[in-house]
Amino acid sequence: MGNNWSVIREKSTPTALLSICWIALYIGRPIARSLLYPITAYYYFFAKKQRQASHKYLTRIFKRPATWYETAIHIHTFASTILDRVYLLSGQFTKLSISYPEENLPKKYCKNGIGCLLLGSHIGSFEALRSYAVENSSIPIKILMDEDHASMIMQVFNALNSDVASTLIPLDGSPSGLLKVKEIIYSNSIVGLLGDRILDNSSEKILQCTLLGGAINISSAPIIMAAALKVPVIVFFGIYLGGNRYRIHFDLFAEEIILNRATRQQDIQDWTQKYVDLLEQQILTHPYNWFNFYNYWEKDDE
């Protein structure tokens, strides 16, 4: 997978983003959604690297060359979830139809004043977690995030909701970051992070796993962090179902990740592959929900 996702520049402007947000909030979602078609066309024709990455990914999924229409659907689906973040961040959850699981799994595993880790990915909308926290849980949720990438869109979204900044933990891969996460979890909070990308950090430990029949590079940091914290890990997906519909899904990944000294490296490999296997299940079920628009399988070009 490499780190090439981190050097892909944003293809928008603050003015354009603010305009879409204004239309979404003050004119309405139907009009805002109608603008997604020209936006999709713009990205299809002018975001060449992202379009090519989408085509390669969908070709791998469908086991045949993806069509231009399928690639456009993929881009449009991503644009739809970005638009809906406006409503999720501004607390207008009634604009969306969100299905919540019957069991509050995160709350179940937050015990004795200690929280847990929510391990997400770039599948669907991680921001849907905010609606779940507001509607279903009294336990605070903090998000471990790399704010440097897509900083433009983050500034716009932070302007929508000034409380967003207080829920974010800067992700820099440093030991102080782990200490901060530990402090927050041991104060009865939930910490969410995305595990399917590698930071632009040479100290990050990279493993090779198998996804959709091909080799990928992926970070072992979430597994190592969870093992160090000795807290439950729950995998989270906010699947976009089309229109205004979302479904939140939880999987208990582990009540505690234990790494044996004698087999530590193999244990980390096995746990990381287990996470990748859960990603694959969701990708195969909801192929247009996968939002990593770069060359995830480096050997494709070879």
Nearest to 191 by CA among 232, 220, 251, 151: 232
Q: Say what the pLDDT of residue 88 is.
A: 87
Does 3 reside within a domain?
no
Does 2 reside within a domain?
no
Does 199 reside within a domain?
yes
pTM score: 0.87
Does 4 reside within a domain?
no
AA letter at 197:
R
Does 224 reside within a domain?
yes
Q: Say what the pLDDT of residue 91 is.
A: 82
**Secondary structure letter of residue 7 according to DSSP:** G
Q: Say what the pLDDT of residue 144 is.
A: 81
Does 122 reside within a domain?
yes
Does 44 reside within a domain?
yes
* Count of structural domains, the chain: 1
Does 302 reside within a domain?
no
Contact by Cβ (8 Å): 298, 2: yes
SS3 208: strand
- Counting as low any pLDDT under 70, the low residues of the chain are 1-16, 146-166, 170-177, 199-204, 299-302
Q: Say what the pLDDT of residue 23 is.
A: 87
Q: Say what the pLDDT of residue 299 is.
A: 61
- Helices (DSSP H) in the chain: which residue ranges? 14-26, 29-34, 36-46, 48-62, 68-89, 105-108, 128-136, 151-160, 164-167, 175-185, 221-229, 264-285
Expressed as residue numbers, the domain containing 161 is: 9-297
Distances (CA, A) of 68 to 59, 79, 81: 11, 17, 20
Q: Which two tokens stand for residue 23?
A: 């239309």
Q: Which two tokens stand for residue 182?
A: 């530990």
Q: What is the pLDDT of residues 74-94, one digit of tens each?
A: 999 999 999 998 888 888 888
Q: Which two tokens stand for residue 148?
A: 């440097």
